[in-house]
Amino acid sequence: MSARIVRTVAELRAALAPHRADGVGFVPTMGALHEGHLSLVRTARAETAVVVLSIFVNPTQFGEAADLAAYPRTEDEDVALASAAGADLVFAPSVDEMYPTGFATTVSVGGALTATLEGAVRGRSHFDGVATVVAKLLVAVQPDRAYFGAKDAQQVVAVRRMVADLGLPVAVHALPTSRDADGLARSSRNARLSPAERELASVVPRALRRAQDAFADGLRDPRRLGAEVDAELAAAGLAAEYVEVVDADDLEPVDRVIRAALLAVAVRVGPVRLIDNVTLVPGVDDRISIEGRTS
């Protein structure tokens, strides 16, 4: 059955009212849905009675106007895909519905959580934009469970912090990164890669995998783990915007990986900034699977 599309918070609340007690699951997205988003919808479908997916290309989290303008918008296809994966409602508000004239509030998650990695490159305003829109969406939907992808690991950490700090009554679930057969993390922006750039992009998961292999062999020095990533990228003629190993919980730099750490990378390939990450946990082998990998 096709999911119902609602465009206003009032319509959304009215549609959810009769089902609220059954349990509401929520998947916030910016649309141009791919298998990564759909894996979140399927999990929400399995775990909650009513599933809401939102599609909102949030202007306040984009730094470059060109990136916002080029962001793919495929609503009809998205609704069909979300419905097939089990969404009941698609909340697709206008910019005016989310930010009416006079809108003046920003939710800002402070500290290292938002100052490092993507925050360092994109500026604090990026995560202010993310936190504000996620807060608004959570208040609009009032879900019992909200589902996010580990691909945007820093976003997950910031959202968890915000939910805890504001006491929002929602359980935040982070699900594994969905990848293409060559390991590339699925992303709406990948559609903007030319065939040659798409081919080149496969070096990113290979670089992370190389660091994972070194980690599995006992390497615990963050700089040397990062150097493994850099070397693989350099061999393909790419250079990372950043490669960092940080604590998985507070995103602070670590001297040595003795507990769960995040190895995160951002690389520009053609017109697209690719971001990806893996978690390095001593004693846990959870390496990226890369089809056809021979070494």
- 187 lies in the binding site for ligand AMP (CB under 6 A): yes
- 122 lies in the binding site for ligand AMP (CB under 6 A): no
- 180 lies in the binding site for ligand AMP (CB under 6 A): no
Q: Are 281 and 247 in contact (CB under 8 A)?
A: no
19, 34, 37, 126: which one is catalytic?
37
- 40 lies in the binding site for ligand AMP (CB under 6 A): yes
Candidates 88-96, 97-105, 182-190, 234-242; binding stretch for ligand AMP (CB under 6 A): 182-190
Q: What are phi and psi of 82, to 5 degrees?
A: -65, -40
- 119 lies in the binding site for ligand AMP (CB under 6 A): no
Calpha distance 44→51 (Å, rounded): 6
Q: Are 57 and 77 in contact (CB under 8 A)?
A: no
- 212 lies in the binding site for ligand AMP (CB under 6 A): no
Site of tokens 């009554």: 169
Q: Find the binder of ligand AMP among 188, 190, 212, 277 (CB under 6 A).
A: 188
- 152 lies in the binding site for ligand AMP (CB under 6 A): yes
Per-residue CA distances from 262 to 25, 197, 250, 277 (Å): 27, 26, 10, 7
Judged by CB, which is closer to ligand AMP: 184, or 229?
A: 184
Min separation Cβ 227 and ligand AMP, Å: 26
Judged by CB, which is closer to ligand AMP: 143, or 222?
A: 143
Calpha distance 251→54 (Å, rounded): 28
- Which among 164, 149, 277, 173 has a CA at the least distance from the CA of 225? 277
Judged by CB, which is closer to ligand AMP: 146, or 254?
A: 146
- 151 lies in the binding site for ligand AMP (CB under 6 A): yes
The beta strands (E) that lie in the chain are given as 4-6, 24-29, 50-55, 89-91, 145-149, 171-175, 240-247, 261-269, 272-280
Min separation Cβ 157 and ligand AMP, Å: 12
Give catalytic status of residue 37 as yes or no: yes
Q: How many helices (H) and strands (E) does the chain have?
A: 12, 9
**Positions in the binding site for ligand AMP (CB under 6 A):** 29-30, 36-37, 39-40, 148-149, 151-152, 175, 177-178, 185-188
